[in-house]
Each structure stands twice: as structure tokens, then as C-alpha cells.
Chain A
Amino acid sequence: MGDPYQTLGLTKTATDEEIRKAYRKLAKEHHPDLNPGNKQAEARFKEISAAYTLLSDPEKRRAFDAGEADASGQPQAERRFYRDFAGGGAGFRYGRPEDLGGFEDLGGIFADLMRGQAGAGRSTRGGAEAQFRMRGGDAQYALPVDFLEAVNGTKKRVDLPGGKTLDIAIPAGATDGQKLRLKGQGMPGLGGGPAGDALIAVAVRPHPVFRRDGNDIKSVLPITLAEALGGGSVTVETVAGPVSLKIPKHSNTGQALRLRGKGVPGKVKGDHLVELQVVLPPHPDEALEKAVSEWESQHPYNPRGGGR
């Protein structure tokens, strides 16, 4: 980068207001999104932005003026401009159908062009028009769904640009990243060609309690000391709702209990695996400490190997 003052067309005596004004003017002129076909605009705009970043920061400007820092090495985050996306799905999302409207009579223009050439020999009119039929592109969308919606299946209503609304059925057991294809719901075709497809990528949001492992659901169930020792019946949340679970006597942390058929629904029903986690009471208790320590002095055991 050259002299930032020069880049903005200023001198060292420029006021903050003059710097801001100069940048505003140059940004309007060179912003890549206002010059979508101009490759140089991006380089020029980056230069202007870097100069402005330096001069609009009093400390950086002082350091530069004092010769303590040069204009190079101004770190600038790599930036992708909107124009880079406007030709793809984003253009379809943001552009309105009438933005393409001026070309609806293209078929006619082609016909005219071809008629003009008919005298030169071959009649290419029919062929050219036929070849100009183009299938519309596929439009890609990401559709975030909640964990339980993906597991149990759901219907989602999605508003597309142009006022179109799609009802999308998320099948039960849908996985993260799974693509759903909606025939004919993509970009419109050209010259009477068929529309492309809409490709919907399902993005499953994680659940605070449930994890998925294939068709099985896993969760951790905290239990009290008394439940671990004496067993008991507790209510467990599953993806299909609450169910009652019997904890056997002498259950330990890490032990897994299987709730058959309570996992992901489908042809092959998954199970729900409940991993037990023994939890001490919230506050220290002398009586408990004493009782357990007395008990252990009579019944020593080593959980780190050897003992039972």
C-alpha cells in the first residue's frame, strides 16, 4: 500500500471529517458490489479501506505520522463481497423474478437473429431455439431443525424468495447433513426449460440431553446414592416422551440401561440407552461421611483394581 493520504487524495493536515468524507466518496465510487463486473474495483477498494482504517484510528494515524509505523502490514480480514454470491442461490434468494424480466423475450430475440441468417443457407432457427431451452439450476438451502424434530419427523414451512412457500416433510430419523430433493422447486428454467430442484440440507441442532448414535439415543441419568444402592423407579425423558425406568439394586456410575424401542423410530427401531451417574448430595454431611467411613473400615475395597 502506498501513502494512505495519497490513496485518499488528502494531505497530512486533513481533519477527521475530511478523511471521512474522502473515504465516503471513494467507497461509493469503488465498492465492488457497485462495480460487479470490474475486477480492479476490489483491489482499489481494499487499498482505500486500508488507508481509511489507518487514518481513522487516532493512535494508528499518530504512529504513522510520527514515522513509527509504515502503511504496510495493516491486517485486513479477507472479505468476500456479496457480488461473489449473487450469481448463485443467493441471487435467487434476494433477486426478485422481475429482476430477470427484461430477458423474458430472449426467445424472440433469438428467433429474429436466426431469421436474419436464414438467407445465408441453413435454417437453424428451430435448432437454436431448442438448444436454448435450459433447465434451471438447483437451488441449495440449509434448513435448521431441532433435534427432536429430526428424530420424530416434522413438517416445515419455508418461505422462498418471490413469495413462494414450500411445505417440507422432514422424515423421522433425518440425520444432520441429509439432503432432501424437491423436484422442480429450484431456479426457473430458461426458454421453457424445466425448473431445477431445490436441495434442502437438514442441519440438526444438538439437544442438551439427548445424543444420537445411529438409531440409538443416549442420555445420562443422574441418580441419588440411595437409588444407586437400593434401586428404585424413576421417570426418564425419551424422544417419545417420559417413560418409567426401574433402576436395579446396586447400580453404579457408567452402567447403561436399555429402553428397547425408545430410540429413533423407523423400520429398525433404535433403543434408548440410559447411562447412570451416581450423584452425591449437594452439601457435605457429617452423618453420611461418618456412616460411610465406618462402613468402609469394615469392608475395604479398591475400585482402582484388584478389589471389588
Chain B
Amino acid sequence: MTITEAEIVVRFTRLERHMLERWIGAGWLKPEASGASYLFDEADVARAHLLCDLSFDMELQEEELALVLSLIDRLNGTRTMLRALTAAVKSQPAAVRDAILAEMRALLGAGSQT
């Protein structure tokens, strides 16, 4: 389900069109271009909601917002990789899995010393 630029401004009353354009210009939102306008899918809408929260409720200025957003994206990227890794480990034979877990415990144990 996609919605238009006009619809998203109506949905988030605090969000004004010029801010939306700014966010798109900064690459913080990447809706599908549609002629002179844009179409937002569910993920874009959820992200716009997040940007509204950061900007209006948490009152982050643009520089801070960029920093927080980039950390969120990196965190999500890391989590995606970690999920893939977990799934890969899970699909291994029990012996391999145990070996990996044992080694990880050793590594994390060693890591906490430093």
C-alpha cells in the first residue's frame, strides 16, 4: 500500500511539505518518485513517523537528527547481519554449532577482560 505526498502530510499533521521535501533532499526519506511527486510505501511511512518523533517530540536539530538516523541505520544493518549469522550458525550440524558457541564464549569472556 502506497500513499502520496499529499496524503502523508495529512496523516502527520505536524509535518509540513517543505520539511518533507528537505528530508527527501537529505536522503533521509527515499520514496518512489512519481512524476513531480512521490509515493510512500509502508516502510517510508514508518520512517517518516520516526523522523517526526525525532524532530518534533525529541526536538532534535538537523545535525543531531542526521547523527541519530545514521546510527539507527547502522544498528539495523548490524542487526540484519547478525540475524543472518545466527540463522547460518543454527543451520549447522550440532557439533559445529557447539564449537562456534564455545569459541564465542571464550572470545567474549576474553573480550570482557580488556
Contact = CB atoms under 8 A, between A and B. Distances in A.
Interface of A: 23-24, 27-28, 31, 33-34, 36-37, 79-91, 93-96, 99-100, 102-103, 106, 113-114, 116-117, 120, 122, 124, 128, 131-132, 134, 141-144, 146, 161, 190, 203, 205
A154 B58 CA distance: 45
A99 B74 contact: yes
A57 B30 CA distance: 33
Q: Is the interface of A mostly helix, strand, loop or mixed?
A: helix
B92 A87 contact: no
Contact of A89 (B43, B53, B59, B99): B43
Q: Is the interface of B mostly helix, strand, loop or mixed?
A: helix
The 7 closest A-B pairs by CB, nearest first: A99-B77, A90-B43, A86-B76, A85-B43, A95-B77, A82-B46, A117-B99
Interface of B: 2, 30, 32, 34-35, 39, 41-44, 46-47, 49-50, 53, 57-59, 68, 72-81, 83-85, 88, 91-92, 95-96, 99-100, 103-104
Contact of A87 (B34, B44, B76): B76
A272 to B, nearest CB: 25
Contacts of B78: 99-100, 102-103
Nearest to A94: B73
A113 B101 CA distance: 10
A170 B100 CA distance: 47
A1 to B, nearest CB: 18
A103 B81 contact: yes
Contacts of A79: 46, 49
Contacts of B80: 86-87, 91, 95, 100
